[in-house]
Amino acid sequence: MDSFLAKRMLEDTLTEEEAKELRKKEFVEVTVHGQTTEMLSIEGLERKFQAEHGRRRMVVPSTDILRHQARQGFPLDVTHGEAMEDMMEDFKKLTEPMETKLQAKEAEVNQELKDFHEKRQTATETTSKIIKLVEAIVIPNPPNPALTRRMEREITEALQETDPSAQRSRISQDLRNIIHGGAEIQILTKQKATKAKWGAMGNRKGDVGENKVALALNQVMEEFSGMSVMGMKTSSYLNHFLDRLNIKLTHRIVKDPKTNKVVELGEVEHDHISTWVEEDELVVNLVQVKTMEVKPWNPPDQKRVGEAAFEHAKHGLLQILKDAITFKELLPDILENQMRKIR
């Protein structure tokens, strides 16, 4: 952050005369009535906005709630809580049969632990025998060498416990953790229906978080002259207009025209932008909202929440830094001396 703040904002490339000409260029197509459109310039947009809205505060919600369609597995009439319960049921369908089979092997596992203590069986022998008993249950076909190595490592570590009951408890929990991890991969990445639902749930939760923040900010600034915009994606919403002005953003998304795959990713996305006038300055407030990912089968973990919050804060800061660059690039007609009156 210190490195970023030490640099000057991007230098203007336009002279004052060029900036004035740019403001007069008609590049935005606006619907006037029905199918009738007209082309407007930046100056024309300003006059139109001033005539229609005056000095009252404007709030622009640019998030389309109707994009949450039924084909995503998460229609509008389903709440986030209901969707979480459905995913928990899908998770149980995968894990409970495996845990029942694992429980049936409990007596045999306990016997191997007893032999470890009473017959001086080595830790390597005991680990190998326990894996042979449970591997087909814990790691269903096809076999996964990485999970087998993990199971071997965790059973070996559990055998270092001095208390036999602690060994049993730890091995049992480790095996269940492997089962749960496999089920989570199935649900979130392998199964098409649940993968789509999980993505839609994340979007919904993120939208709810952003809307709560936007509502709070809009209530605070209700009496201040200015504008609030939420959910603004600069590339997807403004790219058409920017091309006509020959503006290329530093951070953007570029797709290969043949494969339609993203080859360059860097879209600057503003969760909430607010402006207001303070004395002789225009204040531009850029907000990024981060929402904690919650999986229904994972119990709350304060340490994990704290670590995730720290990572979210770092990611949000990087987005804010990009926002500052983009803000300047989107306003080529505002010269350096004018930019000093924007905070």
Contact call for residues 28 and 39 (beta carbons, < 8 A): yes
Taking the C-alpha atoms of residue 283 and residue 304, their distance in angstroms, rounded to an integer, is 36
| Domain membership of residue 329 as a residue range | 2-25+224-339
Q: Are residues 171 and 277 in the same domain?
A: no
> Looking at the domain assignment, is residue 274 inside a domain?
yes
Q: Does residue 54 form part of some domain?
A: no
Task: Tell me whether residue 45 is in a domain.
Answer: no
Query: In a structure prediction context, what are the per-residue pLDDT tens digits for the chain, which is 343 residues long?
Result: 666 556 655 666 788 898 889 899 888 787 877 788 889 898 998 888 888 877 778 887 665 554 545 455 567 777 888 888 999 999 999 999 999 999 999 999 999 998 888 877 889 999 999 999 998 898 877 777 888 889 999 999 999 988 889 999 999 999 999 999 989 988 998 888 888 888 888 888 888 888 888 889 888 888 888 888 887 666 666 666 677 777 766 666 677 778 878 776 666 677 888 898 888 888 988 888 888 888 889 877 788 888 888 988 888 888 888 777 777 777 878 887 888 888 8
| Residue 2, number of CB atoms within 10 A of its CB | 5
Q: Are 187 and 134 members of one domain?
A: yes
* 51 within some domain: no
Residue 31: beta bridge partners? 37
95 and 153 fall within a common domain: yes
What is residue 236's predicted lDDT score, i.e. its pLDDT?
62
Confidence (pTM): 0.69
Check whether residue 97 and residue 179 sit in a common domain: yes
Nearest to residue 194, comparing CAs of 43, 294, 32, 84?
Answer: 84
Q: Is residue 74 included in any domain, yes or no?
A: no
- In this structure, which amino acid lies at residue 229? V
* 258 and 328 together in one domain: yes
Overall domain count for the chain: 2
Residue 218 resides in a domain: no
Residue 53 lies in a domain: no
What is the total residue count of the chain?
A: 343
Q: Report the pLDDT value the prediction gives residue 201, as an integer from 0 to 100.
A: 85
Token pair listed for 147: 């999970």
- In this structure, the answer to whether residues 249 and 327 fall within a common structural domain is yes
What is the per-residue pLDDT for 94?
92
Take residue 167 and report the two structure tokens written for it. Answer: 């060994």
Check residue 119 and give its pLDDT. Answer: 78
The reported pLDDT for the residue numbered 327 is 78
